[in-house]
Amino acid sequence: MIHATFIRRKGNLESVELTGHAGSGEYGFDIVCAAVSTLSINLVNSLEVLADCKADLAIDEIDGGYMKIDISHITRKTDEKVQLLFGSFLLGMTNLAENSQEFVSVQVIAN
């Protein structure tokens, strides 16, 4: 199962940590994994290109199953565009979790 843990501080989304594997299909044919990968890489690219915001990115490139996208250090993290893009990612992940409950879970931790 893929677990997505979002951190929200003072009302602003600041990071998301993705752990685990969906296991909804054979390696290379797992459409849930592909959906999560597409959404997460799109967030990183959109932040950079559309909002001029470079997120810290940590990925387990050997075993997979881990990605952390962090903008907590960015001074523009409260920017409307940045929060809209992060909110859109949360929406996409939440919808995916609702439709694939056995493969994806989403948690938002508010501090």
Q: pTM, whole model, 2 decimals?
A: 0.94
| Rounded-to-integer distance, Cα 97 and Cα 104, Å | 5
- Any idea where the domains of the chain sit in the sequence? 2-110
pLDDT in tens, 29-84: 999 999 999 999 999 999 999 999 999 999 998 888 999 999 999 888 889 999 99
pLDDT in tens, 12-34: 999 999 999 999 998 889 999 99
- Helix boundaries (H) for 9-60: 31-51
Answer yes or no: are the C-beta atoms of 8 and 110 closer than 8 Å: yes
As a CATH number, domain 2-110 is 3.30.70.1490
